[in-house]
Amino acid sequence: MNLPAIRDFAADAFDPGRYARLGDDWAIAVADVIASTQLATQGRDRDVNYVAGAVVAALSAVCARPEQPAACQFGGDGAVAAVPPGYDAAARAALAALAHWARTEMDVPLRVGLVPVAELNRTGHEALAALHDFGNGNVFGQFLGPGVPMAERWVKADERWKVAPAPGELPGLEGLSCRWRPVPPRRGHILCVIIDPLRTGAEGVATLARLQHAIEQVVSTTLAAPLGDGGDLTPAVVPSGRSLAAELRTEKSLRRVGRLFRAMAGSILIGLAHRLGGRLPGLDTDHYRRRLAERTDYRKQAGGPRYVLDVSEDEADRIEALLREAEARDDILYGTARSRATTLTCMVGDFQADRHVHFVDGDGLGFWRASVVLKAKRS
């Protein structure tokens, strides 16, 4: 079964007809950072984002099929993925290796697990999946229904679904980086939003669609894209030492010098090209910045919508008022957090072939802070 494609989030992401119901032979891979509170207070939010991006990169590598890319989603301090039939063993090995690497190399404890969709379906928690497709193999996973949120809860609560850390190969991390400096808002605030429906089935999805429409009346989420059209992005000539250190930890000791050289050379080339007018032979930084801004996951579905939006003070207040009203009607639970900038983690498959996607969060782990608010309402 191939997953259907979504190309217009606002028009299609809330339509169950644009998704496929995952069958019993699929699984849901889950990863989340355990000590986010401690790491956030230590100012290590970029390390947390990098580990979450590593999960997406590795699962994208091992769960991609010849006919279709993998459906993976970044969550700020974790990630989820739909594992196709026959790919369970590869996903389990990647999860085990990721947890071991995160603890030993990044000093970031990572909980990982694998939940059979058959068990979710048996208990009435269906998982619907689609690919937000930007063309040329650049995709993000999108998920409707209670299956993915329930899989995340099960992995946290039940040892049956957890995967133990173990040394192993880390595929897909060669193109993962976090070299961009935090991007300040153009319109006032970076607002991170997490919404979970309380109504089930078609009624719950219809409620989310109405809420999305109401948010669009406050501000177009396309207009509120946190990186805009990419025109204001300024690539750094020399990346920060912390970002380079994270990249080097994905390599074995003997390969780290080569990784450092590639990272520095790539950043210097793009940074200088941008400052010299945007173009060098074989390199158009204006095109790259436009595509980078377009291929960010600032809008996504994981049972309910998640946003990273660049909004004015008034727009943020009005969006939160809409959410309070919907929560008072027992339609949803929600969490929000405001940030001073957008952080960016990049997964570049092939720069020359225009294969790259990018994961955004509010600085200071905005998604995680929003989730803390939501979780407190569930307790």
Tell me the per-residue pLDDT of 223-232, one tens digit each, with 9 for 90 and over.
Answer: 999 999 998 8
Residue 74: Cβ-neighbour burial (10 angstroms; 0-12, 13-18, 19+) = buried
Residues 6+ apart with CB under 8 A from 34: 109, 110, 111
Statement to judge: residues 157 and 105 lie in one domain: yes
Query: Is residue 234 situated within a structural domain?
Result: no
Q: Could you tell me the pLDDT band of residue 256, with boundaries at 50, 70 and 90? A: confident
Statement to judge: residues 173 and 316 lie in one domain: yes
Query: Is residue 235 situated within a structural domain?
Result: no
Domain termination site, one of 252, 286, 320: 286
Q: How many CB atoms lie within 10 A of CB 159?
A: 8
Task: State both tokens at 85.
Answer: 């039939």
Query: Is residue 233 situated within a structural domain?
Result: no
Query: Is residue 358 situated within a structural domain?
Result: yes
Query: Is residue 139 situated within a structural domain?
Result: yes
The three-class DSSP label of residue 141 is strand
Statement to judge: residues 260 and 310 lie in one domain: no
Domain termination site, one of 251, 286, 321: 286
Statement to judge: residues 129 and 256 lie in one domain: no
Question: What average pLDDT does the segment 267-296 reach?
Answer: 83
Structural domain boundaries enclosing 100: 5-189+292-378
Query: Is residue 197 situated within a structural domain?
Result: no
Domain termination site, one of 255, 286, 317: 286
Statement to judge: residues 312 and 249 lie in one domain: no
Residue 374 has pLDDT above 90, yes or no: yes
Is pTM beyond 0.85? Reply is yes
Number of domains in the chain: 2
Statement to judge: residues 258 and 159 lie in one domain: no
Statement to judge: residues 374 and 260 lie in one domain: no
Mean of all residue pLDDT scores within the chain:
93
| Residue tagged 């699984």 (tokens) | 27
Residue 212 has pLDDT above 90, yes or no: yes
Q: Could you tell me the pLDDT band of residue 64, with boundaries at 50, 70 and 90? A: very high
Statement to judge: residues 28 and 174 lie in one domain: yes
Statement to judge: residues 9 and 145 lie in one domain: yes
pLDDT for 302 equals 96
Residue 231: Cβ-neighbour burial (10 angstroms; 0-12, 13-18, 19+) = exposed
Contact of 285 with 188, CB cutoff 8 Å: no
Statement to judge: residues 118 and 256 lie in one domain: no
Statement to judge: residues 316 and 273 lie in one domain: no
Statement to judge: residues 146 and 255 lie in one domain: no
Query: Is residue 76 situated within a structural domain?
Result: yes
Query: Is residue 202 situated within a structural domain?
Result: no
